[in-house]
């Protein structure tokens, strides 16, 4: 008997849910299950309600996923007897997956194998590592000017994080597709790359090392090859940062990007009640996307006094009823084999939790969205070995995807110039990249509403952020940015035909259209709002609770109609009838009540023995801190040698930053701590990539 996957998305306001996708059968611990064709094992297990993939051999701790991107090792399973990372290993028909409950056994030595002696060497002008926004734009730009390029990506699908982004992008319409949904941008960029005759695309081909002589190792669809490029461009993106607190390693605690992978790429519904740590753009966007997937978001905390993400992202979840608690942090996650609750507390100006301010939220999932770290190991090794190496996107500097795309274009032209091609880099490009990469500016307020008009947009863009779609789409050129750059705030002045194009395109859902012409008595007005929640949340004729810019209740409104159509790019527009006196204040519709908040009966004191730093080897914060104190070591390699911290299959990607934080907490200057020695390969390479069967081509 094969069980159908119960935790699939059945509807979504943006994603197209296939009615009858191709499926395959596989098993987990002997139980027959159903998966979608070619999806990753981790997503197939989540779709079947399985979040615990195994238990650690050292202490029996339950393990699931954290990154869903191949960067950690939380999701190890046995697939047909071979240990693999479930998040980067595809299901195939009849695959037997088993939980990893102990150290895996070596497979039987029943097939004579030999090292290959004919490792292929491929020459090219440019090797690009990563097919995300920066890599795709760079490849297309190089190809358009005749550059011979190999673009290698470790995934089967190009686009990187673009494929996970369902929202309209910010930035410049002309320079980085602002106003277009991220996943659509990825599709467009891939088509541009594949149209270039001089660009060769290698998917499912991780780049794993840089070596003497300018050679770069690539596992090209399972077979190890050496590429000898004149230039190496690293556009490998970023990995999510982890936090260290009791329960942080429980199944059900994972990164915001992992959530986007499960929901937006693989159409899995991985949670019912969700809590988020981190008020940057990732945390705020993921909160919104969770609501789109029909998942209740019970709260979000940010340690700083203000969220670091765009105000428009914060405001749109406040309007929907998600509580955002600033100057708060997570104390602990609790549960038996899976998250069951999370406890948070207010922090003082030194970011120390304040006793007596604790709050408890009963949830099944806790998302960590506290920032990203550049995946730049190949770039650093290339520099050390003297290669002509470049970086673009998050591998160069963490910023929004719009900035990554533009940086890819600039770096591509720099490479062309260094290769001797006659090419120009326009002087204004540097200023544009700086604007696209900028952090959110101050909140300056909005421009006045034109009181004399009968129909007009109310633009609630009060913060300096790079964005201009509304100015580009207005047919009457009635929306402009007085400050003169895309960082300024848009202002309406002039005439308005009520075409709703600005409402439909605004990436921040920050524009509403007010129409006071419909009621001759002047008692009511119509307000049209952008709406991207699941179908059925509201319906014509229904009375809804209306909210203001930052989520405060304004009153109620009656849903007159819901507009949809191809021109709206999957967005719907809700037309409300509201009291005329409230029309200018109505900015959103509440879909959930933000509360109640519960004070826990008891909160155990934080014990460093409960905080796991190295998840692969189960090394705690207490063990590392005690060793540093007693030994006086000032070297990551010393901690590694003594405690095996960083020796596991993730290669130290999760624990190195957390260990560095322990050095700082102990008052040790980070500059005095010797960095770790990098492994020869930046990620695991299966032995099969180097081997052939006896008598096979290339054998001895």
437-464: per-residue pLDDT in tens?
999 999 999 999 887 889 999 999 999 9
8-46: per-residue pLDDT in tens?
999 999 999 999 999 999 999 999 999 999 999 999 999
CB contact set of 100 (below 8 Å; sequence gap of 6+)? 53, 54, 55, 57, 63, 76, 77, 78, 83
Q: Do 485 and 496 form a contact (C-beta atoms < 8 A)?
A: no
**Cα(516)–Cα(524) distance, rounded to whole angstroms?**
7
DSSP E strand boundaries for 347-438: 359-362, 365-368, 372-374, 389-391
CA angle, 444 then 476 then 507, to 5°: 45
Which range is least confidently modeled, 65-79, 109-123, 611-625, 650-664? 109-123
Percent of the chain with pLDDT over 90: 86
- What are the structural domains of the chain? 121-238+374-436 (3.50.50.60), 242-369 (3.50.50.60), 455-589 (no CATH), 608-700 (no CATH)
493-541: per-residue pLDDT in tens?
989 999 999 999 999 999 999 999 999 999 999 999 999 999 889 999 9
The SS3 assignment for 466 reads coil
pLDDT exceeds 90 at position 678: no
CA angle, 374 then 169 then 39, to 5°: 65
H-helix or E-strand spanning residue 287: helix 281-292
Predicted confidence at residue 649, as pLDDT, reads: 84
Predicted confidence at residue 698, as pLDDT, reads: 42
Residue for token digits 């908040």?
Answer: 597
pLDDT exceeds 80 at position 660: yes
Q: How far is CA 679 from the centre of its chain?
A: 26
Predicted confidence at residue 118, as pLDDT, reads: 80
Instruction: Give the count of beta carbons closer than 10 Å to the beta carbon of residue 103.
Output: 9
Per-residue burial over 648-679, b if 16 or more Cβ lie within 10 Å, else e, is: bebbbbbbbbbbbebbeeeebeeeebeebeee
DSSP E strand boundaries for 505-601: 511-515, 524-531, 543-547, 553-563, 572-579, 588-589
pTM score of the predicted model: 0.94
DSSP code, position 326: E
Mean pLDDT over 155-161 rounds to 93
Predicted confidence at residue 601, as pLDDT, reads: 85
Q: How far is CA 378 from CA 130, 206, 375, 383, in A?
A: 11, 12, 8, 9
Predicted confidence at residue 111, as pLDDT, reads: 67
DSSP per position, 506-520: -TT--EEEEE-SS-T
Mean pLDDT over 550-564 rounds to 97
Predicted confidence at residue 700, as pLDDT, reads: 33
**Cα(314)–Cα(319) distance, rounded to whole angstroms?**
9
Across all residues in the chain, what is the average pLDDT? 93
pLDDT exceeds 60 at position 132: yes
- Supply the Cα-derived Rg of the chain in whole angstroms: 26
pLDDT exceeds 90 at position 219: yes
Taking alpha carbons only, the member of 44, 164, 166 closest to residue 534 is 166
- Of residues 367 and 597, the one with the higher pLDDT is 367
Classify residue 123 as left (phi > 0), alpha (psi -120 to 50) or beta.
beta
CA atoms within 13 A on the CB side of 424: 3
Which range is least confidently modeled, 457-471, 644-658, 684-698? 684-698
Position 1 confidence tier, pLDDT thresholds 50, 70, 90 = low
Helices and strands, counts by H and E, the chain = 15, 37
Q: How far is CA 415 from CA 44, 139, 429, in A?
A: 41, 11, 15
Please confirm whether the linkage preceding 596 is cis (ω < 30° from 0): yes
**Cα(462)–Cα(423) distance, rounded to whole angstroms?**
39
- Of residues 509 and 601, the one with the higher pLDDT is 509
**Cα(15)–Cα(22) distance, rounded to whole angstroms?**
17
367-410: per-residue pLDDT in tens?
999 999 999 999 999 999 999 999 999 999 999 999 999 999 99
H-helix or E-strand spanning residue 343: strand 341-346
Predicted confidence at residue 699, as pLDDT, reads: 38
Predicted confidence at residue 691, as pLDDT, reads: 81
């Amino acid at each position: 008997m094969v069980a159908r996957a119960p935790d699939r998305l059945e509807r979504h306001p943006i994603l197209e849910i296939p009615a009858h996708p191709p499926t395959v059968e596989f098993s987990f611990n002997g139980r027959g299950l159903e998966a979608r064709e070619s999806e990753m094992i981790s997503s197939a297990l989540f779709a079947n309600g399985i979040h615990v993939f195994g238990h650690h051999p050292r202490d029996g701790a339950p393990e699931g996923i954290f990154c869903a991107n191949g960067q950690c090792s939380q999701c190890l399973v046995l697939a047909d007897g071979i240990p693999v990372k479930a998040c980067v290993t595809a299901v195939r028909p009849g695959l037997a997956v088993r939980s990893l409950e102990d150290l895996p056994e070596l497979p039987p030595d029943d097939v004579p194998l030999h090292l290959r002696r004919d490792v292929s060497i491929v020459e090219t002008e440019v090797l690009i590592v990563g097919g995300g926004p920066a890599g795709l734009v760079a490849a297309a730009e190089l190809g358009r000017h005749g550059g011979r390029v190999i673009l290698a990506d470790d995934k089967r699908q190009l686009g990187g994080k673009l494929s996970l982004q369902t929202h309209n992008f910010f930035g410049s319409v002309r320079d980085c597709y602002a106003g277009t949904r991220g996943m659509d941008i990825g599709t467009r960029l891939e088509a541009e790359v594949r149209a270039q005759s001089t660009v060769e695309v290698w998917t499912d081909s991780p780049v794993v090392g840089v070596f003497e002589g300018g050679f770069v190792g690539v596992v090209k669809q399972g077979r190890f090859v050496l590429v000898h490029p004149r230039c190496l461009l690293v556009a490998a993106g970023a990995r999510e940062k982890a936090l260290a607190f009791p329960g942080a390693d429980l199944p059900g605690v994972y990164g915001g990007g992992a959530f986007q992978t499960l929901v937006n790429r693989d159409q899995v519904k991985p949670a019912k009640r969700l809590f988020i740590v981190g008020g940057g753009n990732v945390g705020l966007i993921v909160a919104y996307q969770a609501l789109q997937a029909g998942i209740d978001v019970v709260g979000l905390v940010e340690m700083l006094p203000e969220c670091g993400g765009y105000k428009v992202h914060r405001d749109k979840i406040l309007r929907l009823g998600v509580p955002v608690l600033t100057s708060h942090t997570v104390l602990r996650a609790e549960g038996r084999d899976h998250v069951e609750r999370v406890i948070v507390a207010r922090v003082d100006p030194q970011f120390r939790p304040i006793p007596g301010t604790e709050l408890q939220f009963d949830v099944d999932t806790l998302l960590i969205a506290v920032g990203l770290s550049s995946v730049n190991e190949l770039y650093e090794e290339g520099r050390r070995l003297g290669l002509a190496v470049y970086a673009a996107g998050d591998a160069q500097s963490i910023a929004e995807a719009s900035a990554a795309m533009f940086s890819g274009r600039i770096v591509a032209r720099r490479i062309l110039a260094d290769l001797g091609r006659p090419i120009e880099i326009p002087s204004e490009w540097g200023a544009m990249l700086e604007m696209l990469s900028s952090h959110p500016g101050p909140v300056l307020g909005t421009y006045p509403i034109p009181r004399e008009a009968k129909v007009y947009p109310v633009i609630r863009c009060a913060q300096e952020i790079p964005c201009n779609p509304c100015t580009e789409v207005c047919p009457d050129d009635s929306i402009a940015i007085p400050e003169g750059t895309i960082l300024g705030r848009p202002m309406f002045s002039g005439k308005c035909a009520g075409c709703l194009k600005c409402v439909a395109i605004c990436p921040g859902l920050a524009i509403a259209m007010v129409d006071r012409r419909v009621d001759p008595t002047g008692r009511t007005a119509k307000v049209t709002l952008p709406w991207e929640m699941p179908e059925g949340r509201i319906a014509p004729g229904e009375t809804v609770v209306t909210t203001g810019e930052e989520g405060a209740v304004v009153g109620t409104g009656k849903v007159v109609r819901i507009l949809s159509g191809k021109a709206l790019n999957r967005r719907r527009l809700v037309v409300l009838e509201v009291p005329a006196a409230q029309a200018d204040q109505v900015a959103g519709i509440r879909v959930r009540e933000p509360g109640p908040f519960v004070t826990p009966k008891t909160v155990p004191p934080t014990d460093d023995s409960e905080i796991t730093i190295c998840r692969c080897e189960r090394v705690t914060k207490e063990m590392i801190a005690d060793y540093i104190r007693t030994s006086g070591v000032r070297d990551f390699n010393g901690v590694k040698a003594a405690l095996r911290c960083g020796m596991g299959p993730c290669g130290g990607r999760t624990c190195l930053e957390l260990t560095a934080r322990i050095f700082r907490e102990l008052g040790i200057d980070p500059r005095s701590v010797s960095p770790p020695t990098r492994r020869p390969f930046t990620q695991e390479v299966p032995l099969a990539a180097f081997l052939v069967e006896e008598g096979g081509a290339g054998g001895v």
